[in-house]
């Protein structure tokens, strides 16, 4: 079973929100909505979604200002929704760090193809390595969002999966509690160390043969966690 993706839609046009609200859940996306740029920024920080869909013409802030502020703290994929006459704004959006754009009106299949491409790119290990991560009897297929232990598929919650793939992205390196909290839960939650302890315990219970003596998900005492690479 693949894991649900969370998606934040920042868009003031009710027709587009309604269209996406009725189509995207069937494709495995959990949708959160914001109508203004300010609300969008708040939601992005609070929910740390897997992907942002951003309308460039918002009532309060320029869409590009929203991109600039999101890029101050995260590389989460951003796809811009633009009108036909917004060429300059579109280029500026990409220069500011948006991953892709789609011109209105668009079909849901085209949008999903764009989103999958942006997500695939975002979940690649930083060194451009394989999209399948293997460590002992643990196998993570990042393109398909599937996790196996000894060839048996293991179901992870969205947060567990995000925690695991974040560790994979930095495999072999120590990640501090704050770094992990920021990457997985978002910058408003960097002091919530108990989230991390709870989810790390769940992840070990699902992935480790002996969760009390982990072989993969290593504790770096007083610092954070490290995913072993050999």
Binding site for Ca ion (CB under 5 A): 12, 55, 57
> What residue is closest to Ca ion based on CB?
57
Nearer of residues 37 and 186 to Ca ion, judged by Cβ? 37
Nearer to Ca ion, 80 or 207 (CB): 80
H or E segment to which residue 11 belongs:
none
* Smallest distance, Ca ion to C-beta of residue 185, A: 29
Least distance to Ca ion, CB of residue 11, Å: 7
Q: How would DSSP label each residue in 201-218? A: HHHHHHH-SSTTS-SSEE
Cα dihedral 179, 39, 5, 67 sign: negative
Minimal distance, residue 150 CB to Ca ion, in Å: 50
Inter-residue contact 99 to 121 (CB < 8 Å): yes
Query: To the nearest whole angstrom, how small is the minimum distance from the Cβ of residue 31 to Ca ion?
Result: 17
Pairing mode of beta strands 29-34, 152-154: unpaired
Residues 6+ apart with CB under 8 A from 221: none
140: phi then psi, degrees, rounded to nearest 5 = -125, 115
C-beta closer to Ca ion: residue 49 or 63 = 63
Which residue lies nearer to Ca ion by CB, 4 or 12?
Answer: 12
Q: Is the dihedral of CA 10, 64, 81, 119 positive or negative?
A: negative
Q: Is 189 helix (H, G, I), strand (E, B) or coil?
A: helix
Nearer Cβ to Ca ion, position 36 or 176? Answer: 36
Minimum distance from CB of 170 to Ca ion (Å)?
Answer: 37
């Amino acid at each position: 079973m693949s894991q649900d993706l969370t998606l934040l839609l920042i868009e003031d046009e009710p027709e587009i929100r309604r269209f996406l609200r009725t189509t995207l859940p069937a494709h495995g996306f959990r949708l959160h909505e914001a109508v203004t740029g300010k609300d969008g920024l708040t939601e992005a920080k609070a929910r740390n979604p897997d992907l942002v869909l951003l309308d460039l013409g918002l009532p309060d802030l320029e869409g590009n200002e929203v991109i600039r502020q999101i890029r101050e703290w995260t590389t989460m994929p951003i796809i811009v929704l633009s009108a036909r006459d917004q060429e300059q704004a579109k280029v500026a959006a990409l220069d500011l760090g948006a991953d892709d754009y789609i011109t209105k009106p668009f079909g849901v299949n085209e949008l999903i193809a764009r989103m999958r491409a942006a997500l695939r790119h975002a979940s690649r290990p930083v060194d451009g390595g394989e999209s399948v991560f293997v460590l002992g009897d643990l196998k993570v297929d990042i393109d398909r969002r599937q996790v196996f232990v000894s060839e048996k598929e293991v179901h992870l919650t969205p947060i567990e999966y995000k925690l695991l793939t974040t560790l994979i992205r930095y495999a072999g390196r120590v990640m501090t509690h704050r770094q992990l909290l920021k990457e997985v839960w978002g910058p408003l939650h960097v002091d919530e160390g108990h989230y991390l302890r709870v989810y790390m315990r769940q992840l070990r219970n699902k992935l480790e043969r002996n969760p009390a003596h982990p072989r993969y998900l290593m504790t770096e005492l007083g610092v954070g966690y490290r995913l072993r690479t050999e």
